[in-house]
Amino acid sequence: MINKKLKDLRTAARRLTRWEASHQAFGHLETITKDDSLFEFYCYMRMLTDLKHNYHIEFIKGAPGNVFPKGPAKKEGKPRFHINHKATSKKYQLCYGTTIRLSNCAPTTHAPDISLQDISASEDPTEIDVQVIWDAKYKEKESSLGVSLLREFAMNVVDFRLQIAPSTPLAFRHLTSFNTNCLITNGTISDRHEQYCTDRIIRQIGSFQKGYHLMQTVG
Amino acid sequence: MNWIFKKTTDPREDNIKISFEQKREFSGKIGEKALLLTKNYMIPASFILGAVESIEIPLQDKHKITILLSERSEFGNEKPLEDYIYSIRRVTNYSGYKRHFARKYSRITDLEYEAIVDDNIYKERTYLGVIINAMHEDHQRSFVTYLAAKKPSLLAGSPDCEEAFHHLKNYLDYAILKPAEYLQESYQTLENMVPKSELSTLAIGERSHFIERQNKVIEEELNMFRGILDTIDLSRFDSSQYKNYFRNIPLPIQIK
């Protein structure tokens, strides 16, 4: 009995901590360069699931391969989704992890985790093409977003010269608080930075977890 | 004292003869307990030392020892030695534990013998060691970093395996199981939005980090792994003997 249990634990711990094909580590690592990519991608998918109610969703293939990037990557060749409002036909690109150039200070770029871009945005977009950005931060349980993260995100919003919401707001079904520049976390958010967030047209979204819809928002 | 004898073949007989040569005398006594270790490092049965014969080899300063293992008592299933290494104090190389049993025979204490025969293992240390040493080495390092932040004393002095296991469970949930669930749910979304022909090509971060393949692994392992972790209730075990025996021995973490 004990031998079977230990064998199962050993096999599962080996398989669940590795990517099946590459044998590289799977999951979140507590190393100097923290890897939040699975949570970031999850947020992207949750938004799409929600938008599917009011939008036609079109998958735009990558080339070569369909690799959603981890960390900043050029937009060209990366897969993404286009959304097309079912009633109004208003279209946007919803991009994941790709860089956006700052037109007045090339070659500086930023790569928000998720960005809403005009449907006409090119494969080498600038801030002019961007409507709203979202960043995701994976935390352990009760950890909260620190002010340095908020400041960094607010600076991106300033650099992209973003407005508080897209020119035509997104028709989310449930995730209506996502209709602005958001820093999303599964952890907690800090009320005391509310004024800071409001003034800088950013919003904190906390407790964003699997199967859990009672999010907290500040800003 | 109790003994583990290596034998490349395992004749299924009540009595097994073991012979070897060595300089010193064999210190085992008739009636002492013994285990057999096969070439695959499995333990099929326990025995009693039935006879010990020692003959001096002329001019070679050696003894030819012949031992009769008798009163074979078969285990229902062969026991992998690997499952007991965290209850045997001298094992420090967990991935290369076989090296500790390279000689023709080894001695083990009563506590270690009972761990194998009765499955009365040091459970906290075994669960901890089995999981950590099966994890990807980047996760092993990451867990040490995590532990250093949560409770650094566990990495020094006299560590408490039960407390370390509690932190390991939290780490697994945070660093591996939750991200695995994120991938699982993400895959369900993709199934509804991406043409079937493209699904198997979708990857995150690296070209070979295929979402569909990983989702299959998660489907096969996640619930079972969570289920076992949830049923492990260490408070039910009395490990006081082991705690004493492993005092000042580091946690069973081996980082390359």
Strands B105-108 and A55-60: unpaired
Is ipTM beyond 0.90? Answer: yes
CATH number at residue B102: 3.10.590.10
pLDDT at B234 exceeding the cut of 90: no
- Domain range for A173: 36-218
- Domain range for B83: 2-121
Across A149-163, A179-193, B10-24, B136-150, least confident range: B10-24
Q: Which residues in chain B have their CB less than 8 angstroms from residue A24's CB?
A: 136, 138, 206, 209
CATH number at residue A68: 3.40.91
Asked if residue B105 and residue B129 are part of one domain, the reply reads no
Asked if residue B101 and residue B132 are part of one domain, the reply reads no
pLDDT score for B107: 95
Paired tokens of A177: 């608080």
Let me know the angle formed at the C-alpha of B87 by B83 and B88, rounded to the nearest 5 degrees: 105
Across A8-12, A165-169, B13-17, B239-243, least confident range: B13-17
- Contact between residue B214 and residue A80 where contact means Cβ atoms under 8 Å apart: no
Does residue A50 lie in a domain region?
yes
Strands (E), chain A: 55-60, 66-68, 80-85, 91-96, 100-101, 109-110, 114-118, 130-137, 181-185, 202-206, 216-218
Interface touch A6/B83, C-beta < 8 Å: yes
Give the chain B residue whose CA is nearest to the CA of A96.
B204
pLDDT at A110 exceeding the cut of 90: yes
pLDDT at B156 exceeding the cut of 90: no
Domain end among B121, B136, B162: B121
Q: Among A1, A27, A45, select the one facing B186 at the smallest CB separation.
A: A45
pLDDT score for B15: 84
Asked if residue B134 and residue B105 are part of one domain, the reply reads no
**B205 to chain A, closest Cα gap in Å:** 4
Does residue B196 lie in a domain region?
yes
Does residue A8 lie in a domain region?
no
Does residue B255 lie in a domain region?
no
Alpha helices in A35-187 (DSSP H): 37-51, 147-159
Query: pTM, whole model, 2 decimals?
Result: 0.93
- A window 6-45, beta carbon within 8 A of B: 6-31, 37-39, 41-42, 44-45
Q: What is the mean pLDDT of chain A?
A: 92
B63-118, pLDDT tens digit by residue?
999 999 999 999 989 999 999 999 999 999 999 999 999 999 999 999 999 999 99
Interface touch B176/A18, C-beta < 8 Å: no
pLDDT at A214 exceeding the cut of 70: no
Q: Among B79, B131, B209, select the one facing A19 at the smallest CB separation.
A: B209
Q: Tell me how many helices (H) and strands (E) chain A has.
A: 4, 11
Asked if residue B170 and residue B106 are part of one domain, the reply reads no
In this prediction, what percent of chain A has a pLDDT beyond 90?
A: 78
pLDDT at A34 exceeding the cut of 80: no
**B28 to chain A, closest Cα gap in Å:** 29
Interface touch B119/A59, C-beta < 8 Å: no
Interface test with A, best of B146, B189, B225 (most A CBs within 10 A): B189
Asked if residue B107 and residue B141 are part of one domain, the reply reads no
Q: Among B138, B186, B216, select the one facing A29 at the smallest CB separation.
A: B138
pLDDT score for A177: 93
Asked if residue B142 and residue B81 are part of one domain, the reply reads no
- Mean pLDDT of the A45-71 span: 95
**B63 to chain A, closest Cα gap in Å:** 38
Instruction: Give residue A176's identity as a one-letter amino acid code.
Output: T
Domain end among B121, B142, B161: B121
Inform me whether the C-beta atom of residue A57 falls under 8 Å from chain B C-beta atoms.
yes
- Contact between residue B253 and residue B144 where contact means Cβ atoms under 8 Å apart: yes
Task: With CA atoms as reference, report the closest residue to B161 among B234, B75, B98, B80.
Answer: B234
In this prediction, what percent of chain B has a pLDDT beyond 70?
A: 99
B177-229, pLDDT tens digit by residue?
999 999 999 999 999 999 999 999 999 999 999 999 999 999 999 999 999 99
d(CA B183, CA B172): 15
Let me know the angle formed at the C-alpha of B111 by B108 and B112, rounded to the nearest 5 degrees: 45
Distance of CA A146 to CAs A95, A149, A151, B153, Å? 26, 6, 9, 27
Asked if residue B77 and residue B140 are part of one domain, the reply reads no
Domain end among B121, B141, B160: B121
**Position A8 confidence tier, pLDDT thresholds 50, 70, 90:** very high
pLDDT at B25 exceeding the cut of 80: yes
Reduced DSSP (H G I as helix, E B as strand, rest coil) percent helix, strand, coil of chain B, to 5? 45, 25, 30
Our count of domains for chain B comes to 2
pLDDT score for A219: 74
Interface touch B142/A79, C-beta < 8 Å: no
Does residue B190 lie in a domain region?
yes
Interface touch A48/B189, C-beta < 8 Å: yes
Sequence-ordered list of residues with C-beta below 8 angstroms from that of B251, at least 6 positions apart, any chain: B125, B128, B154, B155, B159, B161, B164
Our count of domains for chain A comes to 1
- Contact between residue A64 and residue A79 where contact means Cβ atoms under 8 Å apart: no
Does residue A191 lie in a domain region?
yes
Asked if residue B90 and residue B12 are part of one domain, the reply reads yes
Asked if residue B112 and residue B160 are part of one domain, the reply reads no
d(CA B210, CA B205): 9
C-alpha A178, offset from chain centre: 11
C-alpha B61, offset from chain centre: 38
